[in-house]
Amino acid sequence: MRTFVMGDIHGAYKALRQCLERSSFNYDNDWLIQLGDIVDGYPEVYECVEELLKLKKLVPIKGNHDDWFHSFIETDFHPSSWTYGGKGTLLSYLSHAGKNGKFFAVGSGYNTSLVSNDVPQTHKDFFNSQQLYHIDEQDRCFVHGGFNRHLPFSKQKKENFFWDRSLWAESLQTHTYNKNIQLPDDFFDAVDFREIYIGHTPTTKWGTDKPLRALNILNLDTGAGHSGRLTIMDIDTKKYWQSDPLLELYTENFR
């Protein structure tokens, strides 16, 4: 049994399949901790969820895009008006509901015939089961965006866990100025983890489609929602496997 962590998928089913195959992931025995943002980006969200449902040992983390879609499932209203990659999600679920192409652009959003009843109950249950964070027995924390490093988790706003970028930005800054690249004793005021795994902020912003590490924080969002790659990593050995670049797998980026 191995334990893997995977970054943001953003509807890229072909990339998901490549990562699972290239890492020789065992669907029955291996654990996968997926860091969120399964939806929005490429047009195979439905297939991504179906594939993840096949995994016997999955820890699904909630991303900000997943939270938007979950809101739609519960209310038939999408809080971001489907603007940030939502076209790919719409195409996927409209297709499986037999409503191909039944949407059109209206201002910054989409008017669409998709309703929450078009989403299978198994998918609704999946998005309802996503966790804000996961802490394992070895004191490793897995979260989509980050958190306020000055507050205990009990006092964090839930949005911090899938929206926060300050943790990554501040760890990069500290890492840059710390010649020994050691975690300063005062970096965390209220929490203390051996390692922290995040997504949400693509490493492509720093010119690489590989995972990045700053202090004890590992960023696994390697740009699968854009033109980068999807990454899966063995958290014990730190060996990782990647998909092909997304624009080689799909001809259009829907973000």
pLDDT digit string (tens) for 87-135?
999 999 999 999 987 877 766 678 889 999 999 999 999 999 999 999 9
Residue 176 pLDDT > 90: no
Query: 26-50, pLDDT tens digit by residue?
Result: 999 999 999 999 999 999 999 999 9
pLDDT of 9 > 60? The answer is yes
Confidence check: pLDDT of 215 > 80 = yes
CATH number of 3-14+22-79+122-247: 3.60.21.10
Q: What pLDDT shows up at residue 104?
A: 72
What do you get for the CA distance between the two ends of the chain, in Å?
Answer: 36
Query: pLDDT category, 181, cuts 50, 70, 90?
Result: low
**Residue 233 phi/psi, 5° resolution?**
-130, 140
Bridging pattern class, strands 31-34 and 3-6 = parallel
pLDDT at residue 186, rounded to an integer: 66
Orientation of helix 45-53 relative to helix 86-96, angle to 10°: 70
Tell me what pLDDT residue 158 has.
Answer: 95
> pLDDT exceeding 90 applies to what percent of the chain?
80
Q: How confident is the model at residue 53 (pLDDT cuts 50, 70, 90)?
A: very high
The average pLDDT across 227-235 equals 97
Domain ranges of the chain: 3-14+22-79+122-247
The pLDDT confidence band at residue 185, using thresholds 50, 70 and 90, is low
Structure confidence by residue, pLDDT tens digits, 192-209:
899 999 999 999 999 999
Rg (CA), the chain: 18
Strands (E), the chain: 3-6, 31-34, 58-60, 103-106, 109-112, 133-135, 140-143, 195-198, 212-214, 217-219, 231-234, 240-242
Contacts (Cβ under 8 Å, ≥6 apart) of 50: none
